[in-house]
A and B are shown apart, each in its own frame.
Chain A
Amino acid sequence: MPSFLFVIGITACVCLFPGTAFSKSTHDNDYLVELQQQARQLKLHEQRVWHLLLKYKPRLLGGVVSEADGMDFFNAPDGKTNPESELAATLAGFFLPADKPAADTEHPQCNFPARFKWLHQQLQFDATRLEIQACERLERWVSELDPVGVTLVFATYYLNNPASMFGHTLVRIDSRDRQGERKLTNYGANYAAIPDTDNPFLYAWRGLTGAFEGRFAIFPYYTKVQEYNNLESRDLWEYELDFTEAQLNTMLLHLWELGGTYFDYYYFQENCSYHVLSLFEIARPELRLKDQFFFSVIPADTVKIVMAQDNLVKKVVYRPSIVSVMNQKRHLMTSEQQRVFQAIAKEKILLDADEFTRLPDGTKTLLLDAYMDYLQYQSMRQHSDHEVKIPYPVLLARSRLQTDNAAHTPSLHFSSPPHPGHGADRFRIATGHNDREPFMEFAYRPAYHDLMARDAGYDKDSEIIFMDFKLRYFLESERVRLDQARFLSITALNPYDPLLFKPSWRFNFSVDTLRDRDCGYCNTFSGSYGRGIAYRPAFFSPLLLFSFLDLKTDFSGHLKRDYRLGGNAEIGMYYDFNEQLRIKLAGNYRVFVLGEHKRFFTTHAVTRYALTQNLDMRLEFNRYDHNNEGIFAVNYYF
């Protein structure tokens, strides 16, 4: 039993010493003082475990402060900032007579079982002098969950949603009798904000300033799978972790303590992934997972940290989304079958059409199964309240076809797990030459992924570049110029899919150099927004073609009338020779019709060779109107 240690501790004491009623308050007090002294001598309040239990973290100006914000979490009035008095008060709480707690509240021993367990280990409570309480609700909770494992679950990106590349993590508690094919029925634990507004501006503001309450919650894992896999169509990656049952018991007792409190939710620091890591640390205090994060905790990075620990991850399991499941089947179809399938999905032909009925049963099964996935995906996207949107005739037709076991359940991955991805920060150093002189280039950006980088671990068709600052030092004119500052640039390429059509789009907001002019590398504020199409011949084809039409504007004192506004048409391609080598070729035609008028071509050729997960080299040739430049760059990710 996982709850073994805990339950045995309690029952043994209760059974052995049924007559605890004899204890007198003075004796209690003596023993309490004794324990508090002992704790002080051992300096228990300075130990890492105590700080993990109370969520203490160092303050900038010395001292500590607990991340927990619900005051019920503490026993001492100054417990939020004072580990020592909190420890003394916690011990005192344990001496509260069994009949003392008010209605609907639990005894401190039952409210803080993880602290009780640890302090008991450190101080060896004498059960004749400290009445050990029976915690009925807690015991039922622990024995119902009965964990033999814990799994870190990472939800990948949405289709067509670059920002979701940041991902989301939650924890699955793997119970003893919910193994194997019953894994979906396990409980999940999630830390999430409880938003009180639908207004996006307020939402962002409150998320950043910690104005939302964040709480731990527990739910059947299958509800989350429905939500992520089916409703949002995000693949899940499950990292099954290796903890002993004793460690899991501690984690669970700690989770119980957390369940009763709340935290101010900080979108970037104290977010879902941060608190998930703290659960692992409490189970194995020697793990130092949170220490590596200073500014922000990106969910994918937490997976990398967990993956980097020795012997922590036992197994990685892929749980494809409904769209991925459908695409796995589509991938198996011949082009003729694809055509029939699309005709059915688009309701151009019915299931009694000759084109379908003449197919062999195996093919019909494949097509119908894919069709039902498609309908399920569509119905999830509409408001559908327990109503099956798969038409009854389709279900009936499928039920008359004998099951073709495992014939169409390939395990093709339509997303990649986050752990082999490159780091989010990037430092770049480059050397190049333009028509006049050689230059050196230094650049840094904190986030996140560009389309020329290795795409393992990322959505391979999306790009988010944030705060990418690039300086150039020109060797002959001995000048340092801000070459480019991309504040935010997002590209979502959505390869054309006749079934699930979505346009590609991109936008960019930056300070750039007016590269088509000879104005001494003068700068401009630049913004653009565009829509386009992309095309990939097959799901796993190395070729991706794209084309965009953008609205583009520049604001600069070096332009006549200080601005120009116009359009940009681009056509280009990406091609992967292998995992290391990728090229991009692209050409643009720009027409500025307002402000300063100008028409010109730009062309780009970029080659990337990835040396390791976090290091790549690039060779670039760019031509802007009549100005050329060539650059050799090395990018390091961390």
Chain B
Amino acid sequence: MTEATTATSVRRLNDQISVIDIKGEITAASESTLMDAFNEASGDATKAVILNFGGLDYMNSSGIGLLVTLLVRAQRQHQELLAYGLNEHYRQIFELTRLDEAIGIHDTEDSATAAAGR
């Protein structure tokens, strides 16, 4: 019950945009999984990384801290971070924490892709 149950897969839509599909949890235990996925998603020309939260079961405050760390890394690499697939509850948490001001929140992958790099 304490082991990490986070699974990620990375899709490179093109040179500039990658998607990380997240399944399971975002907690302190997801750190290495998420950071590895982010590395895999970041090519030399990658301008935007889109997080797909469609498969997210659970996220806690440590997970939010992890997203902030990810965001700092993305900004340092001049990459934009976007997200879609958040349910109403986590969307509210993104608003509360103002993460939504730094991570563009979208309903679908298409609208996230269209917004990337704008």
A in complex with B: no
Measuring CB to CB, which residues of chain B are less than 8 angstroms from any residue of chain A?
none
